[in-house]
Amino acid sequence: MAKKNAFQIAIDGPVAAGKGTISRLVADQLGFLYVDTGAMYRATALLGIRNKINLNDEAALLPLIQKADIVLKNPTKKEKDGRLATVLIDGEDVSWAIRTAEVSQGSSQVAVHPKIRQELVNKQQKIAQNTDVIMEGRDITFRVLPDADLKIFLTANETIRATRRHFELLTKGVNTTFEEVLSELKQRDDRDYHRAVDPLQQTPDAWVIDSSDLPIERVVEFIVAKVKIMRDKNNLTNHKA
């Protein structure tokens, strides 16, 4: 990867640990671009579904995302309708289209393909090259941004994560039980931690934050304060140099 010219915050962690909400709030406070890499896998799944391609067919999916212009940006005032990020495919706003149950399931299917992952990693690294970013996903600290200025592994216990996810689904009108959500979360964890390509892992240099008993606002405060201290030290060092 080419030399970076921006401050990079990389966040990994299991599903429903609070990565998206926390990253969005940190981005707002620091003026960074929030990059939800999971949205790019969802966008890939959406493209496959719309083009009636079997999501297990890597060879057929790859040309689609190679030519697609997938853009992630911070929502404008008019776009603040509950979304954490605005996602565009060839100029079309698909921010909500990629959040359906079908696309969510499809994103897990396409995420196992090595060539798909490499193509999206290339796109993600390009985004972070010259823009201050807070990027979250499952392979950011060790695969996408291995030289990130700040690496974080954000986690929480299963019950807390399932409770959060269940509440989120209920507020969206999805009729499901806590037991169903917990079971699905455990299955997702198993896939994330044991997939053949870039399994979810905690790097030795990552700052581990367990959000089980911490309010989101407190976690945001911790990260923002840490980044400000790091940037102040960098500026001081650069001035001395």
Please report which confidence band the pLDDT of residue 151 belongs to, taking 50, 70 and 90 as the band edges. very high
pTM for this prediction: 0.90
For residue range 75-91, list pLDDT tens digits in order.
998 998 889 999 999 99
Answer whether residue 67 shows pLDDT above 80.
Answer: yes
pLDDT of residue 48: 97
Answer whether residue 1 shows pLDDT above 60.
Answer: no
pLDDT of residue 241: 47
Contact 181, 166 (CB under 8 A): yes
For residue range 165-182, list pLDDT tens digits in order.
999 889 888 889 999 999
Q: How far is CA 59 from CA 30, 53, 62, in A?
A: 40, 10, 6
For residue range 191-241, list pLDDT tens digits in order.
889 888 889 999 999 999 999 999 999 999 999 999 999 988 877 655 454
SS3 letters across 40-108: HHHHHHHHHHHCCCCCCCHHHHHHHHHHCCEEEECCCHHHCCCCCCEEEECCEECCCHHHCHHHHHHHH
Domains and CATH numbers, the chain: 8-32+132-224 (3.40.50.300), 39-130 (3.40.50.300)
Spell out a b/e string for 220-231, using b for 16 or more CB atoms within 10 Å of the CB, else e.
Answer: bebbeeebeeee
